[in-house]
Amino acid sequence: MSRKLIEIIGLSAKQNGVPVLQNIDLTIQEGEQWAILGNSGSGKTSLALALIGRLFYNGQILFHTKGIIDLVEQQHHFRTLSNTTDFYYQQRFQSQDAEDSLTIEEEVQPYLEKDKEETLQLLEQLHLTPLLQEPMIQLSNGENKRLQLVKSLLHHPSILILDNPFIGLDIDGRKLLQEIINTVSANGIHVILITTPEEIPSCITHVAVLDQGRLIFSGNRPEYHQQLPVKDSRHILTKEELSTLNRRVEHSFNSMVKMVDVTIRYGEKTILDKVNWEVKNGEHWSLSGPNGAGKSTLLSLITADNPQAYANEIYLFDKRRGRGESIWDIKKNIGFVSPEMHLYFPYTSTCFEVIASGLFDTTGLFRTINDEQEEQVNQWINLLELKDIAHKTLQQLSLGKQRMALLARALVKNPPLLVLDEPCQGLDHEQMVFFNSLVDQLCTSFNTTLIYVSHYREQLPDCINKHLYIEEGRVVKGQR
């Protein structure tokens, strides 16, 4: 007869006065492995935080185990050698500033001293051994996620909670992580996995589904025979909406991006190796490749965040870099979002301020906006259905709502070039369908040029018709 592992009785919680969990009853037995599903904002992360004691709640959570309960969070944060967290987005591309960042080897040094063999084995299993000397600030989102998992496993938890661990991982990375989770489960660790219906490892035996903080389904996996119905959230802009959105930088560019034998090195490591690529006005590109292939570095050359652009032959908006233009001359033509920008964005900014900062290409709002600009921001707030959270800070929002605010920031000035790096990361299916249909319509109606990065081919907007695949810093022909 199975014994109880966790009992959740009448669990309710609020954040900033808003209910995030409502009267949840759930029992997890020994030997069970659970997946927690639900749309963005349904309470999944709040439940995880309650389980590890980081969210005040009413009701009871009873643990029938004396082992460690560990959580691997969605967002990864780390400290500098100066013991601060004061990193900024562009710093990951500044070789001299990266010297203040711990390397992977330095980060795991306490574990190496305690059990070198196990630590090295885990690093090897999660493909981190070749990166031991890399500064943590220069790791890709997926690489950093694997490192957090290594550190957690070295704590030897009896219960391991993983909050959307597949986010930001490439195809091979997701397959590897599923295998690792299955192995962890087989070794006796109880797994509670916050994930999507598409990413459920074979070891998962039970499923719980949350909706607006309420538990609407719990049972064994065979009983979970269908996903929650997803309503069609496509939003077709009206002529009036399109006409008011027609505020953009006037341009007559022929070529938005042109790179000739572009090579980027940090010390002995080559990140990009003789990349040749041209993006012409009105083209719609996907950019893909494994974690660590050089995609973020490539984008940083376009968004004027990487100083090595000046040492290469790069043309942006028909002008070669280093011919007197400022970074703001470049950024005014670009709408940009990425997981790394999300990580470094000040969490004290309100949703309104996040969106408004896109008018000035700053990470935070540092000036007063005029009435016309305020109307422009409110228009996107209404369009993306963010009115009820417009004056809440990022730290008060679910990951999905944070992402929607940053996506609105990229779109707010209706720029001639959109550079969207994993824009649907953290969105639920409904939000993804809605956003991509919006991107399709903007590209069609305004001839917007698009560079779109995703590890999921099925998440690409319909307008994408050109593809660039890079691997180990090189353009690979014939890959899509």
- Residue at a domain's end among 167, 197, 223: 223
pLDDT winner (highest mean) among 24-28, 219-223, 422-426, 474-478 = 24-28
Question: In this structure, what token pair is assigned to residue 160?
Answer: 């391991």
- Same domain (yes/no): 282, 322: yes
Whether residue 192 is contained in a domain is answered as yes
Q: Is the pLDDT of residue 208 over 70?
A: yes
Q: Is the pLDDT of residue 266 over 90?
A: no
- pLDDT digits 0-9 by tens, 11-24: 999 987 889 999 99
Whether residue 200 is contained in a domain is answered as yes
Q: What band does 75 get if pLDDT is binned at 50, 70 and 90?
A: low
Whether residue 120 is contained in a domain is answered as yes
- Same domain (yes/no): 169, 257: no
Asked whether the beta carbons of 31 and 25 are under 8 A apart, the reply is no
- Same domain (yes/no): 216, 295: no
Quick one: what percent of the chain has pLDDT higher than 90?
Answer: 55
- Residue at a domain's end among 165, 195, 223: 223
Whether residue 232 is contained in a domain is answered as no
Q: What band does 225 get if pLDDT is binned at 50, 70 and 90?
A: low
Q: Chain-wide mean pLDDT for the chain?
A: 87
Whether residue 134 is contained in a domain is answered as yes
DSSP annotation of 336? E
- Same domain (yes/no): 105, 217: yes
- Same domain (yes/no): 275, 162: no
Cα–Cα distance for residue pair 181/203, rounded to 1 Å: 8
Asked whether the beta carbons of 62 and 5 are under 8 A apart, the reply is no
Q: Is the pLDDT of residue 118 over 50?
A: yes
Q: Which residue, among 176, 153, 198, has the nearest Cα to 35 in the 3D structure?
A: 198
DSSP annotation of 165? T
Q: Is the pLDDT of residue 412 over 70?
A: yes
Asked whether the beta carbons of 208 and 35 are under 8 A apart, the reply is yes
Cα–Cα distance for residue pair 427/438, rounded to 1 Å: 14
Cβ count within 10 A of residue 446: 16
Q: Is the pLDDT of residue 132 over 50?
A: yes
The three-class DSSP label of residue 169 is coil
Contacts of 184 (CB under 8 A, 6+ apart): 153, 160, 191
Q: Which residue, among 329, 408, 397, 409, has the nearest Cα to 365 in the 3D structure?
A: 409
The three-class DSSP label of residue 388 is helix
Dihedral sign of CA atoms 292, 296, 301, 306 in order:
negative
Dihedral sign of CA atoms 232, 166, 456, 417 in order:
positive
Q: Looking at residue 100, what is its pLDDT?
A: 62
Q: Looking at residue 91, what is its pLDDT?
A: 46
Position with higher pLDDT, 316 vs 231:
316
| Letter string b/e over residues 278-309, b meaning 16 or more CB atoms within 10 A of that residue's CB | ebebebbbbbbbbbbbbbbbbbbbbbbbbebb
- Same domain (yes/no): 116, 154: yes
Q: Looking at residue 359, what is its pLDDT?
A: 93
- Same domain (yes/no): 318, 206: no
| Strand partners of residue 453 | 287, 421
Structural domain of 178? 4-80+87-223
Q: Looking at residue 172, what is its pLDDT?
A: 83
The helix or strand, by DSSP H or E, that contains position 469, with its residue range, turns out to be strand 466-471
The helix or strand, by DSSP H or E, that contains position 382, with its residue range, turns out to be helix 371-383
- Same domain (yes/no): 206, 149: yes
- Residue at a domain's end among 162, 191, 223: 223
Q: Is the pLDDT of residue 254 over 70?
A: yes
- pLDDT digits 0-9 by tens, 320-364: 998 888 899 999 999 999 988 888 788 899 999 999 999 999 988
Contacts of 108 (CB under 8 A, 6+ apart): 119, 123, 147, 150, 151, 154
State mean pLDDT over 245-269. 85
CATH of the domain at 23: 3.40.50.300
Q: Looking at residue 246, what is its pLDDT?
A: 62
Cα–Cα distance for residue pair 62/395, rounded to 1 Å: 28
Whether residue 233 is contained in a domain is answered as no
Contacts of 1 (CB under 8 A, 6+ apart): none
Cα–Cα distance for residue pair 371/252, rounded to 1 Å: 28
- Same domain (yes/no): 174, 264: no
Cα–Cα distance for residue pair 155/270, rounded to 1 Å: 34
- Same domain (yes/no): 173, 257: no
> In this structure, which amino acid lies at residue 186?
A
Q: What band does 174 get if pLDDT is binned at 50, 70 and 90?
A: confident
Q: Compute the residue count for the chain.
A: 480
Whether residue 229 is contained in a domain is answered as no
Whether residue 65 is contained in a domain is answered as yes
Asked whether the beta carbons of 301 and 276 are under 8 A apart, the reply is no
Lowest mean pLDDT among 70-79, 207-216, 260-269: 70-79
* Beta strands across the sheet bearing 206-211: 69-72, 159-163, 190-194, 34-37, 206-211, 214-220
| Letter string b/e over residues 73-86, b meaning 16 or more CB atoms within 10 A of that residue's CB | bbbbeeebeeeeee
- Same domain (yes/no): 265, 395: yes
- Same domain (yes/no): 214, 127: yes
Report the number of distinct structural domains present in the chain. Answer: 2
DSSP annotation of 401? H
The dihedral formed by the CA atoms of 431, 436, 442 and 444, expressed in degrees to the nearest 10: -150
